[in-house]
Amino acid sequence: MAMSQISDAPRPIREPAPENAVVARNVSKHYGPVEALRDLTLEFPRGQLTSLLGPSGCGKTTLLKIIAGLLEPTSGEILVNGEQVTGPGPDRAFVFQDFALLPWANVMRNVAFGLELRGVARSEREAIAERYIRDVGLAGFEDSYPHQLSGGMRQRVGLARALSVDAQVLLMDEPFSAVDEQTRRKFQEDLLALVENENKTFIFVTHSIEEAVYVSDQIAILLPRPSRVSEIIRPSGIRGKGADNIRRDPEYLDIVDRIWASLRSYVE
Amino acid sequence: MTSYRSLFLKLLSAVLVFGAWEIAGRIPVSYSFPTFLDTMSALAALTLDGTMLRAYAETLQPLAVGVTISAVFGIGIGLWVGLSARFDWLFSPIFIVMQAAPLAALIPLLVMAYGIGLTSKVFVVCIMAMPVIVLNTGAAVRNTPSSLKEMGKAFLAREDQIILKVIIPAASPVIFSGLRLGISAGFIGAILAELKITPTGVGDIITYSRSIADYPSMYAAIFSIILFAVLFLNLVERLEFILFKGNNRGYVSD
């Protein structure tokens, strides 16, 4: 499987925040009287994976959907490559928590759906989809329907669909929360390889501290009531050590502890 | 393997039902209740002398027109009702009232307004068939999973693409179940119209055979219309599976 080939050689440590692919500037969001986000400012460096981490109700999915253009901010703005977001665009692709696959369409059509909506000719879009189906390790399942696949395989379809539209920014809304623990670990390793191999910017929502520290170049910790960025952590020291060693690294464990210490008071 | 078994079970249940019918006819439970075999031979006689064919040519007119109108407008209005809250507010009550109304009581009004011809019969079929099609379609469209619509939006679907490629396929199982219910109600409507307005077609065979106490013929006509309805509904189900392949996920297929 192509995605899982994680090299043992240390990764080159990336330059800290060279240029920002996505910028959220003074974003606020109200749902009627409920304040989901207040004056939130955050930068997402190009080619890196930024996690939005926080307890439930802290507005992390809301922020992700505002970046996607699926929700409108009450005030403030989102810039993608310096341009203001007014709605969904070809520069961003979304991976959904509940997969959001079309149950009546087979894997091939689901993966090619983004291209189908853009009017790409059938033979062309199926060739592209086929490549990404192979990349995520689902070769041979092109004609299967979602109900015939396991949860992990369904999310691979969702990932292949997002990759096949070739967006520069990949928005992932708790993509691994609905799959089992073993599959999730595999996904996390694959994600590290993906960040390394694809020249894309990843924005990753999660509520798992370990997951955030394991996969992220930058972790934005959001706190609720009112939602704000309380801290930005860059676990740079553990990044070059290879997927197998991260979980044993003292710095990894320290960061996990530190984040838990700052979050625990918000968990009732 | 399983298809053989399900075919066997279907045959078995047919044998049980028809066997019970035959026994009940032989006891007899009532003088006016013919045996299964008598009914079948009456059916064969009616079919062979062409009576049945002429009757169906007559009955199918209001049925086909009414069911087509109900399906096309029913699904169209249903889509609209499901997509727009204002339209829902405007139209749903009409169809709820239509569904609840005792049709037999309305027939004299229809006859006064539209006479005893085809128009009134088509109306009866539509009143029976349309509400369930509209209400099912509306409910199905309204209940499209919001994450699928959101997915369409995130992948740059236009409004019309979301309706055609997400909402309609997602709603299609419930739309089709509404269509099946609507069509079977339409069959009831067509026969009711022929019994209540003017005796023509299959309704005429039923009425006439009863008046001359030819009960096997009467039951043969009733049996034939039920058989026809079941076959037609199967055809609709086939159509659904051709149009929406992924829908075939194990609910009733026959």
The CATH number assigned to the domain holding B57 equals 1.10.3720.10
Q: Do A100 and B151 touch (CB under 8 A)?
A: yes
Residues paired with B95 in a beta bridge:
none
Domain assignment present for residue A208? The answer is yes
Q: Quick one: A111 and A142 in the same domain? A: yes
pLDDT for position B103: 83
Residues 190-249 of A with CB under 8 A from B: none
Q: Quick one: A178 and A79 in the same domain? A: yes
pLDDT for position A125: 95
Domain assignment present for residue B2? The answer is no
Q: Cβ distance A195 to A14 under 8 Å?
A: no
In this structure, what token pair is assigned to residue B219? Answer: 């039951």
Residue A156 neighbours by CB distance under 10 Å: 28
Q: Cβ distance A117 to B148 under 8 Å?
A: no
Q: Quick one: A125 and A34 in the same domain? A: no
pLDDT for position B252: 33
Q: Quick one: A177 and A45 in the same domain? A: yes
How many structural domains comprise chain B?
1
CA distance A103 to chain B (A): 7
Residues paired with A173 in a beta bridge:
A205
DSSP B174-243: HHHHHHHHHHHHHHHHHHHHHHHT---HHHHHHHHHHHTT-HHHHHHHHHHHHHHHHHHHHHHHHHHHHH
Domain assignment present for residue B231? The answer is yes
Q: Quick one: A143 and A222 in the same domain? A: no
In this structure, what token pair is assigned to residue A227? Answer: 């939602």
Residue A89: which residues within 8 A CB-CB, separation 6 or more? A69, A80, B156
Q: Quick one: A66 and A86 in the same domain? A: yes
Q: Do B246 and A161 touch (CB under 8 A)?
A: no
Q: Quick one: A208 and A183 in the same domain? A: yes
* DSSP 8-state code for residue B134: H
Which range of residues forms the domain containing residue B141? Answer: 37-246
Domain assignment present for residue B130? The answer is yes
ipTM over 0.95: no
pLDDT tens digits along B141-166: 999 999 999 999 999 999 999 999 99
Domain assignment present for residue A13? The answer is no
Give the Cα separation of A37 and A28 in Å (integer). Answer: 5
**Following CA atoms B59, B64, B65, B69 in sequence, which dihedral angle do they give, to the nearest 10 degrees?**
140
Q: Quick one: A82 and A4 in the same domain? A: yes
In this structure, what token pair is assigned to residue B234? Answer: 């199967």
Q: Cβ distance A47 to A60 under 8 Å?
A: no
* DSSP 8-state code for residue A13: P
Domain assignment present for residue A19? The answer is no
Domain assignment present for residue B133? The answer is yes
Q: Quick one: A37 and A2 in the same domain? A: yes
Q: Quick one: A34 and A56 in the same domain? A: yes
DSSP A206-244: ES-HHHHHHH-SEEEEEETTTTEEEEEE--GGGGGG-TT
Closest CA to B235 of B199, B183, B195, B196: B183
CB-CB neighbors (< 8 A) of A145 in chain B: 246, 249
Q: Do A93 and B172 touch (CB under 8 A)?
A: no
CB-CB neighbors (< 8 A) of A68 in chain B: 154
Tens of pLDDT, residue by residue, chain B (254 residues): 567 888 899 899 999 999 999 999 998 888 889 999 999 999 999 999 999 999 999 999 999 999 999 999 999 999 999 998 888 898 889 999 988 888 888 888 889 999 888 999 999 999 999 999 999 999 999 999 999 999 999 999 999 999 999 999 999 989 999 999 999 999 999 999 998 888 899 999 999 999 999 999 999 999 999 999 999 999 998 888 888 776 655 433 33
B50 by Cβ neighbours in 10 Å (0-12 / 13-18 / 19+) ranks as: exposed
CB-CB neighbors (< 8 A) of B166 in chain A: 102
Q: Cβ distance A101 to A156 under 8 Å?
A: no
Query: What residue of A is the nearest CA neighbor of B171?
Result: A104
Give the Cα separation of A67 and A229 in Å (integer). Answer: 16
B161 touches chain A (CB under 8 A): yes
Q: Please tell me whether the peptide bond between B28 and the residue prior to it is cis, using omega within 30 degrees of 0.
A: yes
- Low-confidence residues of chain A, pLDDT below 50? 1-7, 9, 14-18
3-state percent breakdown (helix, strand, coil) of chain B, nearest 5: 85, 0, 15
Nearest-Å Rg of the Cα atoms of chain A is 18
pLDDT for position A179: 85
Residue B246 neighbours by CB distance under 10 Å: 18
In this structure, what token pair is assigned to residue B3? Answer: 């298809």
Which range of residues forms the domain containing residue A124? Answer: 103-166
Residue B211 neighbours by CB distance under 10 Å: 10
pLDDT for position A156: 94
Domain assignment present for residue A21? The answer is no
Closest CA to A233 of A261, A247, A213, A203: A213
Domain assignment present for residue B155? The answer is yes
Domain assignment present for residue B15? The answer is no
Domain assignment present for residue A194? The answer is yes
Closest CA to A256 of A242, A229, A238: A238
Testing the interface with B: which of A97, A106, A113, A128 to mutate, by most B Cβ within 10 A?
A113
pLDDT for position A18: 47
Give the Cα separation of B240 and B243 in Å (integer). Answer: 5
Helix (H) or strand (E) holding A79: strand A75-80
Q: Quick one: A120 and A144 in the same domain? A: yes
Give the Cα separation of B70 and B50 in Å (integer). Answer: 30
Domain assignment present for residue B127? The answer is yes
A72 touches chain B (CB under 8 A): no
Q: Cβ distance A205 to A52 under 8 Å?
A: yes
Whichever domain contains A240, its CATH number is: 3.40.50.300
Nearest-Å Rg of the Cα atoms of chain B is 21
Domain assignment present for residue B14? The answer is no
Among A129, A144, A166, which residue terminates a domain? A166
Domain assignment present for residue A22? The answer is no
Nearest-CB residue to B161 (from A100, A103, A117): A117
How many structural domains comprise chain A?
2
Q: Quick one: A84 and A193 in the same domain? A: yes
Domain assignment present for residue A243? The answer is yes
A266 touches chain B (CB under 8 A): no
Helix (H) or strand (E) holding A49: strand A49-53
